Structure 1
């Protein structure tokens, strides 16, 4: 990939039409998105928060929000999906990865607002992560998720991710994709 193509893959903003005819803008996340992220996480259902954080996250702390929005776009990447809601921007999905210390793999996560699920947004956000990881030369993406997250299982299977039970915790699965 040319340097210009690589840069574009990492930084461009795109507008996408979903299967339900709703429109979203997907762009790299930055620290200015902290309040959007706060509102997004707070408004997720208990089930969606559990699937995303594999534990009890209610109202996100300021420290957590700063960590989630302090993206260096090298070791950590995130893409935010924005929709207009009463002429105000609203976060409706996010995808992110963090490069492992060995630089050979990155753990990723995707979450979509409950009322925006099943319209293809999760797939778009995952595709953006894959594109970014490829542009950076990261050979492997992986995700550790609840074995009960059947929506994610379907998306991952359709995209060609490999799935295995977590050997350390049978209530979790590990998805991997070689790039």
Structure 2
């Protein structure tokens, strides 16, 4: 019974304050978020899109948006960070992971809107990912990212992620976080 509590808590929205006092809601992503996702990705800077998708993408395709918002909340999880704007909710960040076939590890990604970087949102999103992965019994999170993504490197090091160059591609770095360590 106690194993169900963390999962239930992770399926609800949480409200957090960013540095500077802005209130943000972090909640599970759903298919209904497709237009928020379209607007968010379209408004990312070219560098932010390159870091997130490992290459340049222009306008996100409908197929990509459907893939990103069709989350089973079991093998694949995603959380969206939103604020209340003049026209309703506005997405300002997101985090996600997809479990490997054995269920012991999961590849993860975090992206924060350009105007919202350096406000503590990345740290909140990474914390939510770690909490969710631990609740599911995942033992390790990992991510392969551009070596010149210095913002991510800073966040990863603050959380104690291991970092090493990708032996197959020196332009990339592999981050890994052991979830079994306390």
Q: TM-score, normalised by structure 1?
A: 0.97
Q: Contact between 1:97 and 1:129, CA under 8 Å: does it hold in 2?
A: yes
Aligned residue for 1:170, secondary structure, equals strand
The total of aligned residue pairs comes to: 179
1:128 CA displacement: 0.3
1:144 aligns with 2:144: yes
Q: Deviations over 1:55-96 (max 9, x none)?
A: 011100000000000000011000000011115110000000
Aligned mates of 1:59, 1:28 — CA distance in 2: 24
Aligned mates of 2:103, 2:87 — CA distance in 1: 41
Aligned residue for 2:52, secondary structure, equals helix
Q: Which residue in the other structure is 2:76 paired with?
A: 76
1:3 CA displacement: 2.7
1:10 CA displacement: 2.4
Q: Contact between 2:3 and 2:135, CA under 8 Å: does it hold in 1?
A: no
1:102 CA displacement: 1.7
Q: Which residue in the other structure is 1:101 paired with?
A: 101
Aligned mates of 2:33, 2:168 — CA distance in 1: 35
Seen in structure 2, the aligned counterparts of structure 1 residues 9 and 144 have a Cα distance that, compared at 3 Å, is farther
Q: Which residue in the other structure is 1:175 paired with?
A: 175
Q: Which residue in the other structure is 1:153 paired with?
A: 153
Q: Contact between 1:9 and 1:135, CA under 8 Å: does it hold in 2?
A: no
In the TM superposition, 1:1-179 aligns within 5 A as 2-179=2-179
Is there any run of 5+ residues in structure 1 with no aligned partner, and where?
none
Q: Contact between 1:142 and 1:175, CA under 8 Å: does it hold in 2?
A: yes
1:5 CA displacement: 2.1
Give the ranges of 4+ consecutive aligned residues of structure 1 lying more than 3 Å apart after TM superposition: none
Alignment root-mean-square deviation, CA: 1.1
Q: TM-score, normalised by structure 2?
A: 0.95
